[in-house]
Amino acid sequence: MPAITSGRVLVTGANGYIAVWIVKSLLDAGFAVRGTVRAESKATYLRKLFQSFGDKLEVVVVPDMTKEDAFAEHVQDVDAIAHTASPFHMNAVEPDEIIGPAVAGTLSVLKAAHVHGAVVKRVIVLSSTAALFRTTTEPVVLDESAWNEQAIAEVKEKGRDASAVAKYRASKTLAERAAWEWYEEKKKAGVLGWDLVVLNPPFVYGPILHECDRPENLNQSMRDWYRLIVEGKIDNDTLVTGGAMYVDVRDIAQAHTLALLKPEAGDNRFIISAGPYKWQDFASAAHRFDDKLPAGVTSYDPSKATHLLQYDNRKAIDVLGITYRSIDEVTNDSLQDFKARGWL
């Protein structure tokens, strides 16, 4: 598909932590945005936040995204779609409580684009590195060819007794796989006028734009970050051994815009990851910026940290031209945001 440099983009779940930054990135780039939310009460905040963009932003209510026709009327005049709405919680008892909505919501968007999206040129699905992840005892670097078969196997074997994180990871894996399988089938039949891009970020941190009145109501990742880094509710051993891969929320948002602007992005899956971290990396940075915050383990040497699982982020750098914010930038900007809100 040619580059999409203007027009209207549908953003599903537009009031979410990542999605609000996607809306901002698109508006800043000159696109018009139609955002979906589940209730009118969620729309008021977005309209006020982006009021300077005037009629460039439209917010519509989609109460249940899993319904077949949920997005039918909203895709008819959009040039692209960014699908971000998907369950992110660890509360499912039965696996299908989280897997079902994740798969159904994603397919609902794709089917709507196929049947009703007459001018749609590209659909971007926000997945996760949870769809690639695997546990390992030896250092490994995963690229876009990886799939999380472990989580699927655990859920299939244990059902409701599978771990909460396995249920979540299986939901991301199965939703993305369903999207690719559906897309490839329609593409082979020659009945699609658009192409698919999937973006896979790891843990997402950074300042917030979405509506939030107190730290306890932060989204899952930033609630954890605040609790561990600001409140210091973490032991020394976990500080230096616990960690994963991260990306700044503004970078995954920018990746969505770049995925529209780059013609060659179509038909591709991209890992959007800045790099590895241990929690002490964030704690050290936070203490440098604000010495009232816990210093953690001052003898920690990041050069000696072992990161068993890493993701190869070269494809997104090469194709999308993305650049990543550092741990220091994520930390400083998050702390400044918290201070402005009176949370520090």
Pairing of strands 243-248, 275-278: antiparallel
Task: Name the residue range of residue 319's domain.
Answer: 207-246+274-343
Domain assignment present for residue 155? The answer is no
User: Is-contact 326 248, C-beta < 8 A?
Assistant: no
Q: Are 197 and 110 in contact (CB under 8 A)?
A: no
Residue 91 pLDDT? 74
Residue 215 in contact with residue 343, Cβ under 8 Å?
Answer: yes
Question: What is the edge-to-edge ordering of all strands in the sheet holding 195-200?
Answer: 57-61, 32-37, 8-12, 80-83, 122-126, 195-200, 268-271
Q: Name 231's Cβ contacts closer than 8 Å, sequence gap at least 6.
A: none
Q: For residue 96, tell me if it sits in a domain.
A: no
Would you say residue 171 lies in a domain? no
Q: What is the pLDDT of residue 304?
A: 96
| 321 inside domain | yes
Q: What is the DSSP string of 237-268?
A: HHHHH-EEEEEEHHHHHHHHHHHHH-GGGTTE
Residue 87 confidence (pLDDT): 62
Alpha-carbon distance of 16 to 20, in angstroms, equals 6
| H or E stretch at 158 | helix 149-158
Q: At CB < 8 A and 24+ separation, what contacts does 89-92 make? A: 89/168, 89/220, 90/164, 90/165, 90/167, 90/168, 90/220, 91/164, 92/164, 92/167, 92/168
Give residue 70's pLDDT.
87
Q: Cα separation of 292 and 230, whole Å?
A: 9
The values of phi and psi at residue 287, to 5°, are -70, -35
Name which of 220, 46, 251 is nearest 130 in CA terms: 220
**Rg for the chain, CA atoms, rounded:** 20
Residue 86 is predicted with a pLDDT of 72
Tokens representing 196?
Answer: 């698919």
**Rounded (5°) CA angle 115-118-121:** 105
Residue 296 falls inside a structural domain: yes
For residue 109, give the nearest of 99, 121, 123 by alpha carbon.
123
Look at residues 309, 315, 313 and name the one whose alpha carbon lies nearest to residue 141: 309
Tens of pLDDT along 281-333?
999 999 999 999 999 999 999 999 999 999 999 999 999 999 999 999 999 99
- Return d(Cα 248, Cα 280) in angstroms, integer: 17
Q: What is the CB neighbour count within 10 angstroms for residue 136?
A: 11
> Domains in the chain: how many in total?
1
Residue 77 lies in a domain: no
Residue 235 CA to residue 223 CA, distance in Å, equals: 17
**Inside any domain, residue 128:** no
* Positions in the chain whose pLDDT score sits under 50: none
In a domain, 306, yes or no: yes
Distance CA 114, CA 118 (A): 8
Residue among 255, 289, 261, 267 at smallest CA distance from 179: 267
CA angle 96, 101, 82 (to 5 degrees): 145
